[in-house]
Amino acid sequence: MEYPGNLFVVAAPSGAGKSSLVKALLELDAKLSVSVSHTSRAPRGQEQHGREYWFVGLDEFRDMVARGDFFEWAEVHGNLYGTSRAGIESRMAQGDDVVLEIDYQGALQIKQLFPYAVLIFVLPPSWEELKQRLIRRGDTQPEVIATRMANARVEIDQARHFDFVVVNAVFDSAVFDLKAIVHAQRLKYAAQRRNRSAVFQALQLD
């Protein structure tokens, strides 16, 4: 499938800082928008339906899978998560740049469907720091933290399949790295031919 907009996929183990980084990136870049996923898990803390996620029951989620409503979906930490076609197809068709904040299984499915998708893996600086961030965030039970730390080993092992790696040690440096990836993507030949068509025409470049 070919769309004029860029598709960025950001994956990371829980607690690496993915949501904070993407949020900061969106605040700096009005041309980027994030896809709101569907999930079967219950809302947590201040989360709102339609803002962090579309919270749907397990039955509704399975109905959506059966109808082919998702570009990708996966089971993560015992819950189901998916990126709906309806959520991003129209934005990509308009040429908007879209960011998906999803797990590695979903990221690899997206790469199959959209080979030009840019896959970015966010790494924590160390195992200890990852654990501390999960504890500090304070919205997760101790037994859940143990599961997430175990899952993190499996997830981090998948980073090798991604196009880019950002280490989130100093937050602002990691945001800078993400911005650089987005910027470089927009300077690719095909993107420049679309966005700087007057220059290309003037130079008789096709």
Nearer to ligand 5GP, 59 or 172 (CB): 172
| Closest separation in Å from C-beta 39 to ligand 5GP | 18
Residue whose tokens read 């079967």: 40
Q: What torsion do the CA atoms of 104, 108, 113, 117 make, to the nearest 10 degrees?
A: 80
Q: Which of 102, 118, 123, 130 binds ligand GDP (CB under 6 A)?
A: 102
| Residue 19 is assigned to a ligand binding site | yes
| Residue 12 is assigned to a ligand binding site | yes
Please identify, among the stretches 37-45, 90-98, 133-141, 196-204, the one whose residues bind ligand ADP according to the rule CB under 6 A: 133-141
Nearer to ligand ADP, 170 or 199 (CB): 170
Strands 79-84 and 37-39: antiparallel
Query: By the 8 A CB rule, do 2 and 190 touch?
Result: no
| Residue 82 is assigned to a ligand binding site | no
Rounded-to-integer distance, Cα 34 and Cα 140, Å: 24
Instruction: Check residue 46 for interaction with ligand 5GP (CB under 6 A).
Output: no
DSSP code per residue over 36-89: PEEESSPP-TT--BTTTEEE--HHHHHHHHHHT-EEEEEEETTEEEEEEHHHHH
Rounded-to-integer distance, Cα 38 and Cα 158, Å: 23
Query: By the 8 A CB rule, do 177 and 43 touch?
Result: no
Nearer to ligand GDP, 102 or 175 (CB): 102
Binding site for ligand 5GP (CB under 6 A): 19-20, 23-24, 171-172
**Binding site for ATP: which residues?**
12-19
Binding site for ligand GDP (CB under 6 A): 14, 19, 37, 41, 72-74, 76-77, 81-83, 101-103, 105-106
Binding residues (CB under 6 A) for ligand ADP: these are: 12, 14-20, 133, 136-137, 168, 171
